[in-house]
Amino acid sequence: MVVGSAWVGTACAASLDASLLPRIQGATFEVVAAKPDKDPLTYEKPLPLELLDYQDRTDKYFSIGTAFAIGKNRYVTAGHVLMAGLDSLWGQPSLRDAKGNVYAIDKIEKFDLRRDLVVFSLVKDPAPEPLEINTSPVMNQEVYAVGNALGTGVVIRDGLYTSDTPEQEQGQWKWMRFSAAASPGNSGGPLLDKDGKVIGVVLMKSANENLNYALQMKEVLDAPEKNAVIDSRLSYRLDIFDTTLSNSFKGTFPLPQTLPDFFASYTKLFNAYVETQLKDILAKDADRVFPRGEGSDRLLYNEVWSNMLPRMIVRSNTGEWFLQSNTTKRQSLSNNGYLDVSMAQSKFVMHLRRPDNTPVANFYTDPVVLGDLLAKSGLFARTVGPEHVRITSLGKPISDTVHVDGWKRRWQVRTWTLPYDDTKIIVYCLPLPDGYAMSMVFASAGGAYDSAADLRAITDFMTVEYDGSLAQWAEFLKNTSLLPDAIKDVHLDVTYQKSLSLRTPRFNVAFTPDLLGIEPDSQLSMPLGMLPDHGKVIWGPVGLHYNPRRSESNYLVIYRNVKPPASLDESYASYWDKLINRRHPYESQAYAADGNTKIAAPKLAGDVGKDTVVYTAFFTMGGTQPQDKMKTQLDLLLKGLQVNEH
């Protein structure tokens, strides 16, 4: 039977006295949220809204649940129905009656998150005749679930009150189990006995069988009046390791409160809980969290920091930390721009190469430019009926801040919205010479703080190579407000076709076109990683790759190597021995590799016996080249390379 339209009788509902139906109809309401008035998004074409059902395209509200009256200006719904309005892009929940009248919620009178109940009043009470209450229902009797089934209006469906089952954590109360059909929109609606009296609040649909859950009305009536009660067991984890915390989110705050004040009080408690969980999970086995502990050494003493796509540092189940590798998909943009996209656990990780026709001044400072480039890559689409309509612009973000991670890198944090889906897009953007390294997540509006906190924590476990043309590097280094401390200490002096000089706190390199060409489009890649440094770990340049043009086979590579600890296996000691004793391939002898000719040698600051840091210099030329030519080029490279650390 549909409340608010023709009441179509059924055999099941016929046993419910027809004289009760107007009272049930008047006391039962949809819980609704207003559809956004404005859409910040731009689409590739007009949305084909005609493909939607009439009700979907004409209704100005989203239907999210059911509520009912139990007294004078006293209404009940499920706690999770009310909480759907927390930070929602759809606005705060309201009640709608069968005639389409909408009533704003006034004050929250009772709230128990664990029992999933809320009692509240309305700003303007329509004063329906409330439902009578039965606190002693009889098992195995016929019952009626009344609710907003799948957003199509309030319906009544019959079944049996079959059993009670203890609540899952401590058995402090019993859930009612019933066989009357229930859909997601039924949440918060009344469960009635054969006399039309409310015996429970419909809460959950069973996942595996048609036995659904309700909270007995006695629990609603006995709930405290003056305090909101929060006691919910939640699990918490980060994508970097398999550690999981299972704790209870607990707290109270005074009632009654207006709905905005209630949400503010809840948000304050929940956000503090998230921060506590984040702190605790990183403190758990803190001596084994990267870069601490022997499980970090294999990563710290390996040449692993040359990666164009951002990669997450994660811990295996054996306790070893490594760089996670993922399948990458490239989305091409105009004017040599592109977006490389990969998934790292539940997060997107991306590298955006700035299109050549996008001015640097706008690219780094105007988030609309970034959002439009992400949209043009085809990442976002809105489903309307059977069609997927591409979003071509995200508009202005609702927030644009900066986060400085533990390595002093400055991430731009932008949040955009998809109002039609009540979703936020949270993006952490690390400026690079050629564009951005990014991590991104889609989060429900109400869960955005939790998701953003995860992304914030994971920035300390992200690594990416700084890459770009010499022209891009020159523009990038001018934007000092974007630069991490380690890059601010890098000085690049270039005179095209004449000289290049790169100075860092740990090494310098300089050369002329006698070694390699120096042009605006010559490519300079600087791996930046976590550097063991005399008992501590810092973040900074670990070398460079230089190529006159990406298509050329001639290039140079410089890389920092640190004496490995004795705890690592023999392969590390053997590699170190090769370096300091100049054994192959570090003996300045040309050799063939992959159709090219290579030559390499170590470079130290002082004595072999005292140094714990050795830089390796590689020079590569295409095809087969003679030893004397390769040695001449290597000598030029070594002459211009200065090591400033021991």
pLDDT for the residue 271: 96
Checking if the pLDDT of 9 tops 80, the result is no
Please tell me the pTM assigned to this model.
Answer: 0.92
Three-state DSSP class for residue 481: helix
| Residue 528: half-sphere exposure toward Cβ, Cα within 13 Å | 25
- Cα–Cα nearest to 449, from 257, 283, 268: 268
Mean pLDDT of the region 372-380: 95
Helix crossing, 259-283 with 448-458: angle to 10°?
A: 30
Mean pLDDT of the region 302-314: 86
Give the pLDDT band of residue 152 (cuts 50, 70, 90). low
Cα separation, 395 vs 544, whole angstroms:
38
pLDDT for the residue 14: 43
Catalytic option among 97, 112, 116, 297:
116
DSSP structure class, residue 131: P
pLDDT for the residue 606: 67
DSSP structure class, residue 630: H
| Residue 325: half-sphere exposure toward Cβ, Cα within 13 Å | 5
CA atoms 380, 336, 472, 622: torsion sign: positive
Checking if the pLDDT of 437 tops 70, the result is yes
Residue type, 62: F
* Polymer length in residues for the chain: 646
DSSP structure class, residue 281: H
Percentage of the chain modeled with pLDDT above 90: 79
Mean pLDDT of the region 273-300: 93
Range of lowest pLDDT (165-169, 326-330, 378-382, 581-585): 165-169
Give the pLDDT band of residue 335 (cuts 50, 70, 90). very high
Q: What is the pLDDT of residues 213-261, one digit of tens each?
A: 999 999 999 999 999 999 988 889 999 998 889 899 999 999 999 999 9
pLDDT for the residue 3: 35
Tokens of 153: 């209006």
- Cα–Cα nearest to 192, from 6, 73, 21, 31: 21
Give the pLDDT band of residue 610 (cuts 50, 70, 90). low
pLDDT for the residue 645: 85
Mean pLDDT of the region 464-487: 94
- Residues 408-433: b if buried by 16+ CB within 10 A, e if exposed: ebbbbbbbbbbbbebbbbbbbbbbbb
Contact 347, 458 (CB under 8 A): yes
187 catalytic? Reply is yes
In 408-513, at which residue ranges do the beta strands (DSSP E only) sit? 410-418, 423-432, 435-444, 462-463, 466-469, 491-495, 499-503, 507-511
Q: What is the pLDDT of residues 52-61, one digit of tens each?
A: 888 888 899 9
pLDDT for the residue 1: 32
Q: Would you list the DSSP string of 337-406?
A: -EEEEEEETTEEEEEEEPPTTS-HHHHHH-HHHHHHHHHHTT--EEEETTEEEEEEE--S-SEEEEEE-T
pLDDT for the residue 77: 98
Percentage of the chain modeled with pLDDT above 70: 96
pLDDT for the residue 578: 93
In 24-78, at which residue ranges do the beta strands (DSSP E only) sit? 28-34, 42-43, 61-71, 74-78
Residue type, 243: T
342 catalytic? Reply is no
Enumerate the β-bridge partners of residue 325: none
Cα separation, 351 vs 343, whole angstroms:
12
Residue scoring higher pLDDT (167 or 280): 280
Give the pLDDT band of residue 5 (cuts 50, 70, 90). very low
- Cα–Cα nearest to 122, from 68, 83, 86, 79: 68
pLDDT for the residue 263: 97
Round the average pLDDT of the chain to a whole number and report it: 92
Checking if the pLDDT of 122 tops 60, the result is yes
- Cα–Cα nearest to 309, from 323, 290, 322, 321: 323
- Phi, then psi, of 21 in degrees rounded to 5: -60, -45
Enumerate the β-bridge partners of residue 599: 619
567 catalytic? Reply is no
DSSP structure class, residue 44: S
Contact 546, 522 (CB under 8 A): yes
Catalytic option among 63, 183, 187, 306:
187
Q: What is the pLDDT of residues 176-212, one digit of tens each?
A: 999 988 877 889 999 999 999 999 999 987 766 678 9
